[in-house]
A and B are shown apart, each in its own frame.
Chain A
Amino acid sequence: MSENILHNEQKLLNLLEKKFLLKESRIIRAKRVEVKVEPKEVIPVLLYAKENSGYIHFAHMSCVDWIEDGEFEVVYILWHPEEKINLFVKTRVPRDNGSLPNIDFIWRQANTYEREIREMFGLRFEGLEGRKEFILEDWNNIPPMRRDFDTEAYVKEVFFHRLGREDAKDVREKIQERTDEELPDFAKKYSRD
């Protein structure tokens, strides 16, 4: 039964596995397929998905900063309008001096996402055109979406703070230590236990 439901997803995976060298591939759940590829395989996989498999819609492109591994993960999300399947193509590049191929000749709108990632993460795209300055204005710090950018220190240095927030404490640990007996009666009523 379940094979029947995931028929289209399995078909796509089989095609991609046969054709390309995938690092990892799986069906996340119905209508969601994920493949992980090397950076140099990105263009062939995307082109194949667009031209031969019907993934004509470029839904989104985002970047994740895996600072512990020293890598950026870039995710391309494609959409099949007829089969209603999302295809996630993921690739990893080194944080320092890493670069990805430019894909705006496949989908023109990718240019916008690439420029945003270039500005917010400092990731280089080979042959990407367009002005360096995109959303930020006169920014001369390290790219703000990188996890080694200390937002709080930056904010404390640049902006003013109105008095009245000095006593704000981190209460997350205290909340975790709470037991059920300490819960007020009205909260117990809605508790899942």
Chain B
Amino acid sequence: MYNDKESQKIVDIIQNFARKHSLFVLAYGTGCGAIEIPPTMTSRYDAERFGIRGAATPRQADVLLITGYLATKTLKRVIRVYEQMQDPKYVMGFGSCAINGGMYWDSYNTINMLDKYIPVDVYINGCMPRPEAVIAGFVKLQKLIQEGKADGWDRYKKNLDEYRANQKKIITNWVMPDFNR
């Protein structure tokens, strides 16, 4: 009875509505952008009015923020964290460092394009983005979720081999648990 396409559409609308209004953000920061998160969460900008709040562990979280430059050493931890998160999960890249390397583009230990290693749903530009920009990014993410376009977790499963090849290019000594699709 519930398997026909029309009723699935209605279920999706309700599901997406619930998802977009309860974004649990993993309390994890890489690089300098992590300092923009406390003002975003606290009373001045108060992100909780959008349903955005912190989560302590990867398994409780929906959103992973890559706040700034990502060292190759941290990339290993980020992949580990991302693969532990439950579906559906979303990734936001902060600032020019996550987009194209920024001022660290010619550094031997920071990656340049985040979306080659994990799927990114929303990028926020700026160096660093102010809390207003962060909230604008979250609103954009909510819009994508409602439209069903924030499908990074799905892309990761489908193109896992490609992402793995890119990850292993940097992490030469690969000692990670398997990812169950």
Residues of A in contact with B (beta carbons under 8 Å apart): 136-138, 140, 144, 149, 151-152, 154-155, 158-162, 164-165
Within 8 A of A (CB), among B90-121: 99-101, 105-109, 111-113, 116
The answer to whether A160 touches B113, judged by C-beta atoms less than 8 angstroms apart, is: yes
How far apart are the CA atoms of A63 and B173 in the complex, in Å?
29
Known: A151-B107, A158-B169, A158-B170. A137 touches B76 (CB 8 A): yes
A161: contacting residue among B72, B107, B112, CB under 8 A: B112
The answer to whether A161 touches B113, judged by C-beta atoms less than 8 angstroms apart, is: yes
Q: Does B73 belong to the interface (CB within 8 Å)?
A: yes
Q: How far is the CB of A180 from chain B (nearest CB, A)?
A: 30
How far apart are the CA atoms of A140 and B72 in the complex, in Å?
14
The answer to whether B170 touches A164, judged by C-beta atoms less than 8 angstroms apart, is: no
The answer to whether A136 touches B109, judged by C-beta atoms less than 8 angstroms apart, is: yes
The answer to whether A137 touches B72, judged by C-beta atoms less than 8 angstroms apart, is: yes
The answer to whether B172 touches A138, judged by C-beta atoms less than 8 angstroms apart, is: yes
Q: Is the interface of B mostly helix, strand, loop or mixed?
A: loop
How far apart are the CA atoms of A17 and B139 in the complex, in Å?
69
Bitwise, B128-155 to A at CB < 8 A (1) or not (0) is 0000000000000000000000000000
> Which 5 A-B pairs have CB atoms at the shortest separation, nearest pair first?
A162-B100, A138-B173, A160-B113, A159-B112, A137-B73
The answer to whether A160 touches B116, judged by C-beta atoms less than 8 angstroms apart, is: yes
How far apart are the CA atoms of A100 and B169 in the complex, in Å?
36
How far apart are the CA atoms of A159 and B171 in the complex, in Å?
12
Within 8 A of A (CB), among B56-101: 72-73, 76, 99-101
A159: contacting residue among B73, B76, B101, CB under 8 A: B101
How far apart are the CA atoms of A136 and B112 in the complex, in Å?
18
A-side contacts of B101, CB under 8 Å: 159, 161-162
A144: contacting residue among B99, B108, B116, B173, CB under 8 A: B108
The answer to whether B107 touches A155, judged by C-beta atoms less than 8 angstroms apart, is: yes
Known: A155-B107, A155-B108, A161-B100. A140 touches B172 (CB 8 A): yes
